[in-house]
Amino acid sequence: MFKIIPAVDLKNGRCVQLVQGIPTRKRISLEDPVGIAMRWIDCGAEILHIIDLDGAIDGVRVKSGLVDEILRRSGDVEVQVGGGIRTHADVASLLEIGVERVIIGTIAIQNPEFVRELADEFGSRHITVALDARDGKVTTHGWKEKTNVDPPEYAESFESLGAGSILFTNIDTEGMLQGVRPEPTAELVKAVGIPVIASGGITTLEDVAILKKTGACGVVIGTALYLERFSLSDAMEI
C-alpha cells in the first residue's frame, strides 16, 4: 500500500524544514516537535518520519529525548528515524524504544558491510538505507559531500547486503516547492526489489500522484504539509 509519511525534522529542539538541507535556509521553524508529531497522528498518519538534522550535519546522533517522547505517545503508528546514526549502539537503542525502521546513510556508504551486520542481527525490515542525490550522484555527511556513484548502483548493492528498504531523496528539488522529478525515483524502483520511499520536491497533490506512479511504496512530505498546500487527508486519499 502506498503510504503518505509526514516529516518531523528536528534541529536545536525545534521542528524545521530546510531548503536543500542547508542549515541556514529554514523555510519552517516551529516549537513543540512532539505536539506537531501528535497533530499528524491525529490527522490520520500511519507512519512518521523523524530526522535528527543536528546529528545528520554533525555526524553524531543527538539524544534529546524528543524521539523517545514521540515514541511513547505514538501508539500503533510506525516511526522511522534517521540522522547521525553511525554505530551499532545507535541502531540498537532506537529499536529498543520501539522505532520501526532505522535510517542509515553515510555509514552505509563508508562501510557497506555494516548494513549486512545490522540486517543479520536485527532483521532486514528494520534497516533502511538513505540514498540522497544531488545532480544524480549520491551524497554523504549531511548532503555536504558528493560521490561519483548513481543511486541505482548503490541500491542494488545494499539490497544484496540485506537492507529492507531504500529512502531516496532528490536534493535538487528538496524544499524548493517547485515540483518533483520522477525519473530518478522510477529508475531506482526498477533497479531493486525492495521498497523505495521517495522524498524531495512534493508541492501539490499531483506530485504525490506522479511519485505513486513510479512504483515507490510511499512518499515523505514536509514543507508542503506545513505550509498547507494540501492536507494530509487529501494526500492519503491518493
Over residues 72-79, the mean pLDDT reads 96
Closest among 125, 130, 126, 89 to 106, alpha carbons compared: 130
Render pLDDT for 21-53 as a digit per residue (tens, 0 to 9).
888 898 999 999 999 999 999 999 999 999 999
Output the pLDDT for position 207. Answer: 98
Output the pLDDT for position 61. Answer: 82
Catalytic residue check, 172: no
Output the pLDDT for position 57. Answer: 80
Output the pLDDT for position 187. Answer: 98
Output the pLDDT for position 22. Answer: 87
Over residues 63-82, the mean pLDDT reads 93
CATH number for the domain formed by residue range(s) 3-237: 3.20.20.70
Phi, psi of 177, rounded to the nearest 5 degrees:
55, 45
Sign of CA dihedral 148, 109, 26, 217: positive
Length reported for the chain? 238
Over residues 170-185, the mean pLDDT reads 96
Contact 205, 176 (CB under 8 A): no
- DSSP tag of 166: E
Sign of CA dihedral 201, 205, 208, 210: negative
Query: Can you tell me whether residue 47 is helix, strand or coil?
Result: strand
Phi, psi of 51, rounded to the nearest 5 degrees:
-120, 125
Could you say which of 9, 52, 90, 207 is catalytic? 9
Could you say which of 52, 54, 132, 207 is catalytic? 132
pLDDT greater than 90 at residue 222:
yes
Over residues 215-219, the mean pLDDT reads 98
pLDDT greater than 80 at residue 63:
no
Contacts of 77 (CB under 8 A, 6+ apart): 41, 45, 46, 47, 48
pLDDT category of residue 111 using cuts at 50, 70 and 90: very high
pLDDT category of residue 60 using cuts at 50, 70 and 90: confident
- How much is the pTM? 0.96
Sign of CA dihedral 164, 169, 170, 173: positive
Contact 121, 147 (CB under 8 A): no
Over residues 132-137, the mean pLDDT reads 96
pLDDT category of residue 92 using cuts at 50, 70 and 90: very high
The rounded radius of gyration (Å) of the Cα atoms in the chain is 16
Catalytic residue check, 9: yes
